[in-house]
Structure 1
Protein backbone atom coordinates (compact mmCIF):
# COMPACT_ATOMS: atom_id res chain seq x y z
CA UNK A 1 0.00 0.00 0.00
CA UNK A 2 1.32 3.46 -0.90
CA UNK A 3 1.00 6.38 1.43
CA UNK A 4 -0.16 9.75 0.25
CA UNK A 5 2.42 12.45 0.33
CA UNK A 6 1.90 16.14 0.04
CA UNK A 7 4.22 18.77 -1.27
CA UNK A 8 4.08 22.39 -0.20
CA UNK A 9 5.37 24.94 -2.65
CA UNK A 10 6.00 28.46 -1.38
CA UNK A 11 6.29 31.28 -3.88
CA UNK A 12 7.43 34.63 -2.52
CA UNK A 13 5.26 37.36 -3.97
CA UNK A 14 3.69 40.63 -3.02
CA UNK A 15 0.24 41.87 -3.91
CA UNK A 16 0.03 45.59 -4.56
CA UNK A 17 -3.37 47.18 -4.33
CA UNK A 18 -4.04 49.73 -7.03
CA UNK A 19 -7.35 51.39 -7.81
CA UNK A 20 -9.59 48.80 -9.40
CA UNK A 21 -7.11 45.94 -9.63
CA UNK A 22 -4.58 43.83 -7.82
CA UNK A 23 -1.12 43.27 -9.25
CA UNK A 24 1.14 40.37 -8.41
CA UNK A 25 4.78 41.39 -8.27
CA UNK A 26 7.51 38.73 -8.29
CA UNK A 27 10.63 39.30 -6.20
CA UNK A 28 13.54 41.08 -7.85
CA UNK A 29 15.59 38.71 -10.00
CA UNK A 30 12.87 36.05 -10.16
CA UNK A 31 11.13 37.20 -13.31
CA UNK A 32 12.68 38.46 -16.53
CA UNK A 33 9.67 40.49 -17.65
CA UNK A 34 9.62 44.10 -16.42
CA UNK A 35 6.63 45.07 -14.27
CA UNK A 36 3.90 47.08 -15.93
CA UNK A 37 4.00 50.53 -14.43
CA UNK A 38 0.79 52.47 -14.84
CA UNK A 39 -0.88 55.25 -13.00
CA UNK A 40 -3.91 55.34 -15.25
CA UNK A 41 -7.09 56.10 -13.37
CA UNK A 42 -9.35 53.12 -14.16
CA UNK A 43 -12.52 55.16 -13.61
CA UNK A 44 -11.35 57.85 -16.02
CA UNK A 45 -10.28 55.31 -18.64
CA UNK A 46 -13.64 53.56 -18.41
CA UNK A 47 -15.52 56.86 -18.63
CA UNK A 48 -13.52 57.92 -21.70
CA UNK A 49 -14.19 54.58 -23.39
CA UNK A 50 -17.91 54.87 -22.71
CA UNK A 51 -18.00 58.49 -23.83
CA UNK A 52 -16.41 57.74 -27.19
CA UNK A 53 -18.64 54.69 -27.64
CA UNK A 54 -21.79 56.74 -27.00
CA UNK A 55 -20.50 59.47 -29.31
CA UNK A 56 -19.93 56.91 -32.06
CA UNK A 57 -23.46 55.53 -31.60
CA UNK A 58 -24.89 59.04 -32.03
CA UNK A 59 -22.73 59.69 -35.10
CA UNK A 60 -23.79 56.42 -36.71
CA UNK A 61 -27.44 57.37 -36.23
CA UNK A 62 -28.25 54.43 -33.98
CA UNK A 63 -29.93 56.87 -31.61
CA UNK A 64 -31.49 60.15 -32.64
CA UNK A 65 -31.07 61.93 -29.30
CA UNK A 66 -29.32 61.75 -25.96
CA UNK A 67 -32.65 61.13 -24.26
CA UNK A 68 -33.36 58.13 -26.49
CA UNK A 69 -29.87 56.73 -25.89
CA UNK A 70 -30.12 57.26 -22.12
CA UNK A 71 -33.40 55.35 -22.02
CA UNK A 72 -32.03 52.51 -24.19
CA UNK A 73 -28.78 52.23 -22.21
CA UNK A 74 -30.64 52.62 -18.89
CA UNK A 75 -28.54 55.49 -17.57
CA UNK A 76 -29.40 59.00 -16.42
CA UNK A 77 -29.61 61.56 -19.21
CA UNK A 78 -27.54 64.06 -17.21
CA UNK A 79 -24.79 61.52 -16.62
CA UNK A 80 -24.76 60.66 -20.33
CA UNK A 81 -24.40 64.33 -21.18
CA UNK A 82 -21.50 64.62 -18.74
CA UNK A 83 -19.83 61.60 -20.32
CA UNK A 84 -20.30 62.97 -23.82
CA UNK A 85 -18.53 66.19 -22.80
CA UNK A 86 -15.38 64.09 -22.31
CA UNK A 87 -15.23 63.66 -26.09
CA UNK A 88 -14.49 67.41 -26.31
CA UNK A 89 -11.15 67.01 -24.54
CA UNK A 90 -7.98 67.69 -26.50
CA UNK A 91 -6.63 64.48 -28.07
CA UNK A 92 -3.29 64.76 -26.28
CA UNK A 93 -5.05 65.05 -22.90
CA UNK A 94 -7.11 61.93 -23.69
CA UNK A 95 -3.98 60.06 -24.78
CA UNK A 96 -2.13 61.11 -21.63
CA UNK A 97 -5.04 59.88 -19.48
CA UNK A 98 -5.08 56.52 -21.25
CA UNK A 99 -1.32 56.18 -20.79
CA UNK A 100 -1.51 57.07 -17.12
CA UNK A 101 0.35 60.34 -17.63
CA UNK A 102 -2.58 62.65 -16.93
CA UNK A 103 -2.05 65.76 -14.83
CA UNK A 104 -3.29 65.65 -11.22
CA UNK A 105 -6.33 67.78 -12.00
CA UNK A 106 -7.74 65.42 -14.62
CA UNK A 107 -9.27 62.79 -12.35
CA UNK A 108 -12.78 61.74 -13.29
CA UNK A 109 -14.36 63.82 -10.53
CA UNK A 110 -12.55 66.91 -11.82
CA UNK A 111 -13.72 66.13 -15.37
CA UNK A 112 -17.36 66.37 -14.28
CA UNK A 113 -16.84 70.08 -13.63
CA UNK A 114 -17.04 72.43 -16.61
CA UNK A 115 -13.81 72.73 -18.56
CA UNK A 116 -12.82 75.07 -21.41
CA UNK A 117 -13.86 74.01 -24.90
CA UNK A 118 -10.76 75.41 -26.62
CA UNK A 119 -7.99 72.81 -26.69
CA UNK A 120 -5.31 75.42 -26.03
CA UNK A 121 -7.15 76.55 -22.89
CA UNK A 122 -7.55 72.92 -21.79
CA UNK A 123 -3.83 72.36 -22.20
CA UNK A 124 -3.06 75.52 -20.22
CA UNK A 125 -5.43 74.44 -17.43
CA UNK A 126 -3.87 70.97 -17.39
CA UNK A 127 -0.38 72.48 -17.22
CA UNK A 128 -1.41 74.42 -14.11
CA UNK A 129 -2.43 71.16 -12.43
CA UNK A 130 0.94 69.45 -12.89
Structure 2
Protein backbone atom coordinates (compact mmCIF):
# COMPACT_ATOMS: atom_id res chain seq x y z
CA UNK A 1 0.00 0.00 0.00
CA UNK A 2 1.38 3.39 -0.93
CA UNK A 3 1.47 6.27 1.48
CA UNK A 4 -1.03 9.07 0.86
CA UNK A 5 0.32 12.20 -0.81
CA UNK A 6 0.26 15.38 1.17
CA UNK A 7 -2.29 17.91 0.00
CA UNK A 8 -0.65 21.29 -0.60
CA UNK A 9 -1.93 24.17 1.48
CA UNK A 10 -1.80 26.62 -1.41
CA UNK A 11 -2.99 25.92 -4.93
CA UNK A 12 -2.43 28.49 -7.67
CA UNK A 13 -4.71 28.52 -10.69
CA UNK A 14 -4.00 30.72 -13.71
CA UNK A 15 -7.05 31.79 -15.71
CA UNK A 16 -6.42 33.99 -18.73
CA UNK A 17 -8.95 36.83 -18.99
CA UNK A 18 -9.13 40.56 -19.36
CA UNK A 19 -11.43 43.15 -17.82
CA UNK A 20 -13.50 45.32 -20.14
CA UNK A 21 -15.88 48.14 -19.27
CA UNK A 22 -19.50 47.53 -20.26
CA UNK A 23 -22.24 49.93 -19.30
CA UNK A 24 -20.18 51.58 -16.57
CA UNK A 25 -19.14 48.34 -14.89
CA UNK A 26 -16.30 45.93 -15.41
CA UNK A 27 -16.84 42.54 -17.01
CA UNK A 28 -14.50 39.59 -17.35
CA UNK A 29 -13.76 38.63 -20.97
CA UNK A 30 -12.40 35.14 -21.60
CA UNK A 31 -9.95 34.41 -24.40
CA UNK A 32 -11.12 33.45 -27.89
CA UNK A 33 -12.40 29.87 -27.99
CA UNK A 34 -13.16 29.61 -24.28
CA UNK A 35 -16.76 28.73 -23.61
CA UNK A 36 -18.76 31.03 -21.44
CA UNK A 37 -22.43 31.57 -20.98
CA UNK A 38 -23.20 35.24 -21.58
CA UNK A 39 -25.84 36.86 -19.52
CA UNK A 40 -28.21 39.58 -20.55
CA UNK A 41 -26.91 43.12 -20.38
CA UNK A 42 -29.58 44.63 -18.14
CA UNK A 43 -28.65 48.16 -19.20
CA UNK A 44 -29.34 47.36 -22.86
CA UNK A 45 -32.53 45.43 -22.09
CA UNK A 46 -33.85 48.28 -19.94
CA UNK A 47 -33.08 50.83 -22.66
CA UNK A 48 -34.87 48.70 -25.29
CA UNK A 49 -37.88 48.29 -23.02
CA UNK A 50 -38.05 52.04 -22.42
CA UNK A 51 -37.73 52.82 -26.13
CA UNK A 52 -40.55 50.50 -27.15
CA UNK A 53 -42.72 51.64 -24.24
CA UNK A 54 -42.24 55.29 -25.23
CA UNK A 55 -43.04 54.41 -28.84
CA UNK A 56 -46.28 52.72 -27.79
CA UNK A 57 -47.26 55.74 -25.64
CA UNK A 58 -46.60 58.18 -28.49
CA UNK A 59 -48.49 56.01 -30.99
CA UNK A 60 -51.47 55.86 -28.63
CA UNK A 61 -51.85 59.63 -28.87
CA UNK A 62 -51.59 60.13 -25.11
CA UNK A 63 -48.83 62.67 -25.80
CA UNK A 64 -48.45 64.73 -28.97
CA UNK A 65 -44.68 65.22 -28.86
CA UNK A 66 -41.53 63.67 -27.49
CA UNK A 67 -40.98 66.86 -25.48
CA UNK A 68 -44.29 66.36 -23.63
CA UNK A 69 -43.52 62.73 -22.88
CA UNK A 70 -39.98 63.55 -21.78
CA UNK A 71 -41.32 66.16 -19.38
CA UNK A 72 -43.68 63.62 -17.83
CA UNK A 73 -40.87 61.07 -17.56
CA UNK A 74 -38.56 63.66 -16.03
CA UNK A 75 -35.78 63.26 -18.58
CA UNK A 76 -34.23 65.44 -21.27
CA UNK A 77 -35.93 65.26 -24.69
CA UNK A 78 -32.51 64.83 -26.35
CA UNK A 79 -31.83 61.69 -24.27
CA UNK A 80 -35.30 60.35 -25.03
CA UNK A 81 -34.78 60.76 -28.78
CA UNK A 82 -31.45 58.91 -28.62
CA UNK A 83 -33.01 56.01 -26.68
CA UNK A 84 -36.10 56.14 -28.92
CA UNK A 85 -33.86 55.37 -31.93
CA UNK A 86 -33.36 51.88 -30.50
CA UNK A 87 -36.80 51.04 -31.92
CA UNK A 88 -35.13 51.23 -35.36
CA UNK A 89 -32.71 48.37 -34.60
CA UNK A 90 -32.89 45.27 -36.77
CA UNK A 91 -35.00 42.50 -35.19
CA UNK A 92 -32.04 40.09 -35.11
CA UNK A 93 -29.98 42.61 -33.12
CA UNK A 94 -32.85 43.19 -30.65
CA UNK A 95 -33.27 39.43 -30.28
CA UNK A 96 -29.53 38.94 -29.69
CA UNK A 97 -29.58 41.61 -26.97
CA UNK A 98 -32.60 40.04 -25.25
CA UNK A 99 -30.95 36.59 -25.42
CA UNK A 100 -27.59 37.90 -24.17
CA UNK A 101 -25.91 36.94 -27.46
CA UNK A 102 -24.89 40.44 -28.59
CA UNK A 103 -21.24 41.02 -29.35
CA UNK A 104 -18.95 42.81 -26.95
CA UNK A 105 -19.03 45.87 -29.21
CA UNK A 106 -22.79 46.27 -28.66
CA UNK A 107 -22.98 48.65 -25.72
CA UNK A 108 -25.53 51.27 -24.78
CA UNK A 109 -23.03 54.05 -25.43
CA UNK A 110 -22.42 52.72 -28.94
CA UNK A 111 -26.15 52.18 -29.62
CA UNK A 112 -27.01 55.72 -28.53
CA UNK A 113 -24.61 57.09 -31.14
CA UNK A 114 -26.01 57.48 -34.65
CA UNK A 115 -26.22 54.17 -36.51
CA UNK A 116 -27.45 53.20 -40.01
CA UNK A 117 -31.21 52.85 -40.43
CA UNK A 118 -30.86 49.98 -42.92
CA UNK A 119 -30.93 46.65 -41.09
CA UNK A 120 -28.26 45.00 -43.24
CA UNK A 121 -25.91 47.93 -42.55
CA UNK A 122 -26.60 47.66 -38.81
CA UNK A 123 -25.53 44.02 -38.86
CA UNK A 124 -22.19 45.07 -40.36
CA UNK A 125 -21.82 47.92 -37.88
CA UNK A 126 -22.47 45.77 -34.81
CA UNK A 127 -20.64 42.56 -35.81
Same fold, TM-score > 0.5, yes or no: yes
Where does residue 99 of structure 2 map in the other structure?
99
Q: Normalising to structure 1: TM-score of the pair?
A: 0.67
| SS, match of residue 105 in structure 2 | helix
Aligned length: 92
**CA RMSD, aligned part only?**
1.3
C-alpha deviation, 1:38, in angstroms: 4.1
Question: Which residue number corresponds to residue 22 of structure 1?
Answer: none
How far is 1:106 from its partner? 1.1
2:27 is aligned to: none
Deviation of the 1:97 alpha carbon: 0.3
Deviation at 1:39, TM superposition (A): 2.0
Counterpart of 1:122 in structure 2 is: 122
Structure 1: runs of 5+ lacking an equivalent: 1-18, 20-36
Residue 62 of structure 1 is matched in structure 2 by 62
User: Distance between the aligned counterparts of 1:126 and 1:70, measured in 2?
Assistant: 28
Aligned ranges for residues 1-130 of structure 1 at < 5 Å?
37-127=37-127
